[in-house]
Every structure is written in structure tokens, then in C-alpha cells.
Amino acid sequence: MTALYDEFKKYSGADLYPCHMPGHKRRAFGAMSEEYASIDFTEVDSLDDLHDPEGIILESEKNAARILGADASYFLVNGSTAGILASVSACVKKGGKLLLVRGSHKSVYNAVYLRDIRPAYIFTEGPDEDGIYGAANAAEVEKALGENPDAEAVLIVSPTYEGRMSDIAPIAEAVHKHGIPLIVDEAHGAHLSFTDECASDAIRCGADVVIQSIHKTLPAPTQTAVLSVKGELADREEIRRFLAIYQSSSPSYPLMSMIDGCISYMAENGAKSVQNLHDNFEKLLKRLEVCDKLICGPKIDDLRSGRADYGKLIISARNTCITGKEIADILRDRYRIETEMAAPGFVLAMFTVCDEDFGYDKMADALIDLNTRLEKYGLLAEDGEKPVDPGEKLPAPVIKISVADALDSNVETVDLSDAAGRIAASYICLYPPGTPLVVPGEEITSAHTAYIDRCIKAGFNIKGLEGIGIKTVKNG
Ligand SMILES: Cc1ncc(COP(=O)(O)O)c(C=O)c1O
């Protein structure tokens, strides 16, 4: 069933001349296809309104909620970013406290800034020897809840960008003991809603608000996502109100129709296609077991036990004297494979329900070949020193002032060598993966400056610097 698309086509075939926006008047110009133009509308009477749905859009959202096991679902045309901004804003009062994992996406930090929220962190395991952090577990969440009884909501990420998964049910139970909602950033896990096995998606495991980027792992275009709510701990009217603030006032009808179409397609075909993903991904990992130098993960045991996500292939740089970025460059230049992300310690390559055998074979052939060439090219670890240890731990953050106060303060840019002891006025991240080393309002220590200095010398991309200067709070 692709109800929205069918309705939109019906409307566009009717004999109504469009004396309204959009300006293309449903005619194709430039890069726009005729098909796209024909269903790109504005909120005229019978087409409903995403921000106040009463007709066909409401019906489609209800259909999505039924399929996803939620009490209510909301279509997002500005990605999970908009859903995260809205959920945090709806669940935590202005100036209130949010418990969040340190490795949260920047949209969470942006919500913290916009609503002057006080962040308190859940620290997850890691980084491991490749530089990857674990997903939150119940013990870490319980500890953070115990230390922050005034928290109004908890936000975790599962699966993480690198495919680490939380066991959501015990986390939800721990959070609910405090009578507050659990928000799960499941941007990377939309496919989890369609497995045949027992539920592994957050909404079915007890989370209250779940945000899924369907564009990341399902057949759907960029920017499409869904926010789902279960139970009464999150205020649905507030979520709808904030979505109208953070999303465009001219939401895209083609995107809405493709969200509806993707969810309906997955309802019909999802179990089979997710099973194919599982089978093909395990087969790929088994083929890669011959790689004795270029270690690839995750472990099949971790996949089967739900600790790691199917589809996120990690190619470790640990036995080499080169970085993940250089491995990614070799994969692109020599083997014609573009990967998702390259960090100093690893490369992340993604497979989804839409990959065909060809893609898996191409990756396996490339990595097996590269594994045999590492020694010949002198790229093994004993041939060179790594300038930065991806597993290096930085000190726990010391919060001096709020994120909002720091970002809105008078700023002074100081040399990296003079920054220790100052208060940061920008996010400083090793990008990718983008987890902040320092958040605005936190003290910059000499351990931070030494680490950043080593990263710069190794040619890594550190975001948030001004040349080799750091923005700090003036007189802070
Ligand atoms: C963990 C996580 N959450 C949220 C987002 C935002 O998703 P979107 O691109 O759909 O806005 C991303 C984007 O990469 C992400 O990695």
C-alpha cells in the first residue's frame, strides 16, 4: 500500500489549475523530473497538513504507527535531526536536566543549546583499541540516574554510528523507575523494526520516544525519518508543537509520500529483506576471516546476541602503520569502493537491505586482496609508529558554565598552547566520528591540548578550531 502517493497522483491528475505554490506549477524544470514535479504540492484543502494533520497524512502516520508498534508516529522531512530536537525539547523543560550519552549526535547538543538544558553524561565503555565507544548499558544508565535524580529524560543512541547496540529493555526499565521518558536515537536502526525474530527495535523494547532515519538503512531518500511514541511519559502535543517549530513550514509532499511508501514496502517485504541482510553480512564476515592482518568486524557472536548491528562493517587499522582514512583512500582509488566513514583507527563500510550480492563480493575481494598486499607495501604496524592512539582516554569533562552561556558569550580565540585551563566556547571534535572531545562550557585541560596537537600533526580533521586556535570564553 502506498496510500499517500496514490492520493497525490489522483490529485495531480484532477482538472485543477494550481494558482498556488510551489512556483514550478507541477512542471519539470532543470534537474527536477516530471514525476517529482507532479506530486510536489503545498497544503491545499484535500492534501492535508503535516503540522496539523486531519486527513490522508494523519491516516498514513497512523498506519506507520501500527506497523512500527507505536502509539503514534510522526513523519519527519528534516531528518532525525528535527525529531531529536523536538523530542528533547518536549521531554525536558527549558533549563531542565537531560541525561545523555557523551557520544550523542550534534542535534542533541543543539537541543541542549536551544533550550538551555543542563546536560549530564552517561559514559559508555571505550574507546576500544580502534577508537570505538560501546553503546550504553543498563548499569551505566542506572549509575547516571542515581547521580542525577533531577534528570527529566534520558537519551541514548542505539545502534551507534559504528553499529554497537544497547539492550534497550533493562535500560527502559531503569529509566521508568524514575518516572521519566527514555528517548532512543535509533537513527541508524530503522531496519530493526522489520526483523522476523523477537523485537530488537527500541519502541518494542520499552522506549518512550524513538527517532529513526529511514533514509540511512532503508529504501528511502535523504532527509526522511520517523519519530514514534509509545505510552504517556512523553507529551505528544508538545512533540507535534516542537516539530512544527523545527521543521520547514513547507514540508515536502514527495518526501512524505516516500516515507509512507518505504514503510509500507518494508511491512510487506521487510522480514525477508532483513533476513537477506543478515545472511549476506554473515557470509561476508566469514569470507573475511582469512584476513589475518586487516581485521574486520564485528564478531558474528556479537551480531547474533544483539550487541552489534548487521550491516556495519568495521575495518580496523590496528595492525597497520596507516590510518583508517588511508585505508579508505586505498579502497576508493584501487578497488573503487566508497566507504561511509574513516576515523584514525578504522573504516566503516555500510551494507543495507538494498545491497545485492555484487556489493558484498566486491568488498570481500578487495579486503582479501589488500590484506595480502599490506606486508609487500610495508604497511604493517612494525614498519611505522602511530602518532595517535585511537584508544586513548581523555579526562572526564569538567562543566564550568552551561552550553548556551558558553556559546553566547564573548569569545576569545587563544593559541592551542595557551588553551589549557580556559573554558571552551565551541565544540571540539575529532571528525569523523564527531564525538566531542570538549563541549562548550567545559574546561580545556592540558591532556586535551596535547591530544589535539598530536591529531593535528597526524593530519586528522579536528572540528571547532580556528587555525591552531581554540575559541574560549573571554575572561573564562
Ligand atoms: C546517531 C545519529 N543521530 C542522528 C543523526 C541525524 O540524522 P539525520 O541525518 O536523519 O538528520 C545522525 C546523522 O548522521 C546520527 O549519526
Residue 123 near residue 396 (C-beta atoms within 8 A)? yes
Same domain flag for 240 and 114: yes
* 394 falls within a domain: no
Same domain flag for 53 and 162: yes
**What residue numbers bound the domain in which 283 lies?**
271-383
Single pTM value for the model:
0.96
Last residue of a domain, one of 217, 243, 267: 267
* 122 falls within a domain: yes
Same domain flag for 142 and 209: yes
| 81 within ligand 1 shell (Cβ under 6 A) | yes
Pocket test for ligand 1, best of 75, 161, 213, 258 (most atoms within 8 A of CB): 213
215 Cα–ligand 1 center, Å: 10
Note down pLDDT in tens along the chain; length 476 residues. 468 999 999 999 999 999 999 999 999 999 999 999 999 999 988 899 999 999 999 999 999 999 999 999 999 999 999 999 999 999 999 999 999 999 999 999 999 999 999 999 999 998 999 999 999 999 999 999 999 999 999 999 999 999 999 999 999 999 999 999 999 999 999 999 998 765 689 999 999 999 999 999 999 999 999 999 999 999 999 999 999 999 999 999 999 999 999 999 999 999 999 999 999 999 999 999 999 999 999 999 999 999 999 999 999 999 999 999 999 999 999 999 999 999 989 999 999 999 999 999 999 999 999 999 998 888 888 755 666 788 888 889 999 999 999 999 999 999 999 999 999 999 999 887 777 899 999 999 999 999 999 888 888 889 999 888 999 999 77
221 Cα–ligand 1 center, Å: 14
Residue 128 near residue 391 (C-beta atoms within 8 A)? yes
Number of domains in the chain: 3
- φ, ψ (nearest 5 deg) of residue 185: -80, 95
Same domain flag for 432 and 323: no
**Could you identify the residue written with the cell 503540522?**
51
Q: What is the CATH number of the domain that holds 136?
A: 3.40.640.10
Same domain flag for 291 and 226: no
Same domain flag for 9 and 146: yes
The pLDDT score that the predictor gives to residue 467 is 86
Same domain flag for 262 and 279: no
Given the CA of residue 224, which atom of ligand 1 is nearest to it? 10
| 225 within ligand 1 shell (Cβ under 6 A) | yes
25 Cα–ligand 1 center, Å: 33
| 79 within ligand 1 shell (Cβ under 6 A) | yes
Q: What is the CATH number of the domain that holds 451?
A: 3.90.105.10
| 424 within ligand 1 shell (Cβ under 6 A) | no
252 Cα–ligand 1 center, Å: 19
Q: What is the CATH number of the domain that holds 379?
A: 3.90.1150.10
* 79 falls within a domain: yes
> Which residue's alpha carbon is nearest to atom 9 within ligand 1?
79
Report the alpha-carbon distance of residue 428 to residue 469 in Å, rounded. Answer: 11
Same domain flag for 236 and 281: no
Report the alpha-carbon distance of residue 235 to residue 233 in Å, rounded. Answer: 6
* 153 falls within a domain: yes
Residue 340 near residue 163 (C-beta atoms within 8 A)? no
The pLDDT score that the predictor gives to residue 1 is 47
105 Cα–ligand 1 center, Å: 6
The pLDDT score that the predictor gives to residue 435 is 79
* 160 falls within a domain: yes
The pLDDT score that the predictor gives to residue 51 is 97
- Type and span of the H or E element at 107: helix 106-114
* 398 falls within a domain: no
